Amino acid sequence: MVRTANAPIGAHQRVAPVLPVALPPGAFRAGRMVRFSDCDPAGIAYMPRYLDMLNGVIEDFFPSALGLDYHAFIRGGTGLGYAGLHCDFFRPTRMGAQLVVTALVARLGGASATFVLHVHEGDDEIVRAGMVMVSTSMATGRPIPLPAPIRSALETYLEHCR
C-alpha cells in the first residue's frame, strides 16, 4: 500500500516519495538549511536532529499558518508534546542542503493533532514525518482537549489545504 501525501503514517505501509507540486498549494512551507551542527562526521544529517528541525517547523507553523502563539500556550500551562513520531527517509541529506518543509494536518482527535511533514530538497522528497501532538495539562501531565483556538485554527487550515 502506498501512502498518499495526506495519509496518516503507519509502520507497515510502503511509502513513495511525492513531488512538491502534489501537495496543496496553500499549505504552510518553511525553508531550512542543513547545518554543520545537524550532521554526523560523514556530513550527513543525523536523524535525531530531524526531529528537532521538524519541531521547529511546527513552532513556526503556529504563528505563520494558524495565527497563534505556540509558546503562549505552553507558558499558560498547556503542553504541546508528541505521543508519536514516525519518519521515512528516502535518501541521505548532506550538509548545506536547502530544504523546504510542507506541514499538513492529517487528523484531529479530541486531545491530539496528527501532522504530516514533507521535506523536499528541490523536487526530491527526502523525508516524510508523522508527528502526533497531544495537548496536555502541564500541572498533571494528563491529556486535555485541544484548546478551542487551536482546534478552530487547525480545522480552518485543514479546509484551506483541501
pLDDT for 12: 54
Burial class of residue 99, CB neighbours in 10 A (0-12, 13-18, 19+): buried
pLDDT for 104: 98
CA-CA-CA-CA torsion sign (37, 40, 42, 45): negative
Sheet with 112-121, edge to edge strand ranges: 28-33, 98-108, 112-121, 124-137, 78-89
pLDDT for 2: 41
Q: What is the pTM of this model?
A: 0.90
Regarding the domain with residue range 27-161, which homologous superfamily does it belong to in the CATH classification?
Hotdog Thioesterase (3.10.129.10)
pLDDT for 51: 92
**Rg of the chain over all Cα atoms, to the nearest angstrom:** 16
pLDDT for 1: 33
Q: Which residues of the chain have pLDDT under 50?
A: 1-3
Cα atoms in the 13 Å half-sphere on the side-chain side of 21 = 1
